[in-house]
């Protein structure tokens, strides 16, 4: 009997996968590598220290919690003894695509000839008005997704490893010029295009920061209402794929540009000068 390891993009996917009764163990990739300091060598001491410090400083996540939820799970990919196939379950957005690059880079570092590597990556679907996430499918539909999986070769892993290296460098010119196109990773170029919009514009702020100031200027919103509006904008016009915690953090870091009275945000003089 095949021993399959499913590496999934989050808890919601893991839940649906369990309900589908698809054979195999499930490993949840609990990271958000589209944010914070990185290191080319996924799984190295420097990599983990960078990530721990980021989560501690930005989200007050303690070392033990990060170890239990993230490191303890991910390092299982270093030893695939007895595993016949690794299936990666990810989505089209920037959040998932960067995690996917890191996962593939890590798998290459620990590559085994006796393991088959496969990818289930959702997004465009004929007849659907919007891009699909893994949460848009029912447990009854997951076997069909698995049936349409894409085989990932060592050469494919080497491609993602180079893409990961370019992303970690985060040089705008190199990101613009590098050829991220690959038929196995169809959504990657669009995700990188989205990432490039996080570089500062002429006013010193990036697309997300400018959008936050625009929302504050146009409305009388509380913190939660601003983040709700950001999520609506994200889903309609971007492929960031961020969670609400990331947007709460973006808003907090823009405190020099607004004031809050009775929980309602408004731009100050500096904020208005950026619009």
What structural domains and CATH numbers belong to the chain?
A: 4-195 (3.40.1360.10), 207-274 (1.10.10.10)
User: Residue 253 above 60 pLDDT?
Assistant: yes
Average pLDDT over residues 3-22: 96
Please, what is the average pLDDT of the chain?
96
Residue 213's pLDDT band (boundaries 50, 70, 90)? Answer: very high
Residue 216's pLDDT band (boundaries 50, 70, 90)? Answer: very high
Statement: the pTM of the whole predicted model exceeds 0.85:
yes
Q: What is the pLDDT of residues 158-206, one digit of tens each?
A: 999 999 999 999 999 999 999 999 999 999 999 999 999 999 999 999 9
pLDDT of residue 129: 87
Could you tell me the sign of the dihedral formed by the alpha carbons of 209, 212, 218, 222, in that order? negative
Question: Residue 214 burial (CB < 10 Å; 0-12/13-18/19+)?
Answer: middle
* β-strand pairing of 85-91 with 116-122: parallel
pLDDT of residue 265: 98
Average pLDDT over residues 144-150: 97
Average pLDDT over residues 143-149: 97
User: Residue 246 above 70 pLDDT?
Assistant: yes
Average pLDDT over residues 260-271: 98
Q: Are 102 and 31 a contacting pair, CB within 8 Å?
A: yes
pLDDT of residue 22: 96
What are the backbone angles phi and psi of residue 42, rounded to the nearest 5°?
-60, 130
Average pLDDT over residues 1-14: 92
pLDDT of residue 2: 80
Q: What is the pLDDT of residues 13-65, one digit of tens each?
A: 999 999 999 999 999 999 999 999 999 999 999 999 999 999 999 999 999 99
Rg of the chain, C-alpha, whole Å = 20
pLDDT of residue 1: 55
User: At what angle are helices 207-218 and 244-252 packed, to 10 degrees?
Assistant: 80
């Amino acid at each position: 009997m095949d021993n399959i390891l499913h590496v999934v993009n989050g808890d919601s996917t893991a839940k649906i996968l369990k309900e589908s009764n698809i054979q195999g163990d499930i490993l949840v990739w609990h990271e958000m590598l589209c944010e914070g300091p990185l290191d080319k060598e996924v799984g190295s001491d420097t990599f983990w220290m960078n990530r721990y410090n980021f989560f501690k400083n930005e989200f007050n996540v303690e070392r033990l919690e990060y170890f239990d939820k993230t490191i303890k799970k991910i390092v299982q990919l270093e030893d695939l003894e007895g595993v016949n196939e690794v299936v990666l379950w990810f989505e089209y957005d920037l959040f998932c695509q960067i995690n996917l690059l890191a996962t593939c880079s890590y798998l290459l570092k620990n590559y085994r000839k006796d393991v088959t590597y496969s990818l289930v990556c959702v997004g465009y679907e004929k007849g659907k008005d919007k891009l699909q996430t893994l949460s848009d499918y029912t447990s009854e539909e997951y076997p069909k997704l698995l049936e349409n999986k894409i085989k990932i070769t060592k050469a494919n892993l080497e491609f993602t490893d180079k893409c990961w290296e370019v992303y970690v460098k985060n040089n705008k010119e190199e990101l613009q010029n590098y050829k991220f196109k690959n038929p196995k990773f169809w959504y990657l170029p669009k995700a990188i295009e989205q990432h490039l919009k996080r570089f500062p514009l002429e006013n010193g702020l990036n697309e997300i920061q400018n959008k936050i100031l625009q929302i504050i200027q146009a409305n009388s919103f509380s913190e939660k209402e601003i983040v709700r509006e950001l999520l609506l904008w994200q889903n309609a016009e971007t492929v960031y794929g961020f969670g609400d915690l990331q947007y709460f953090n973006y808003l907090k870091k823009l405190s020099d540009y607004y004031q809050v009275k009775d929980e309602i945000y408004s731009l100050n003089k500096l904020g208005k000068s950026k619009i």
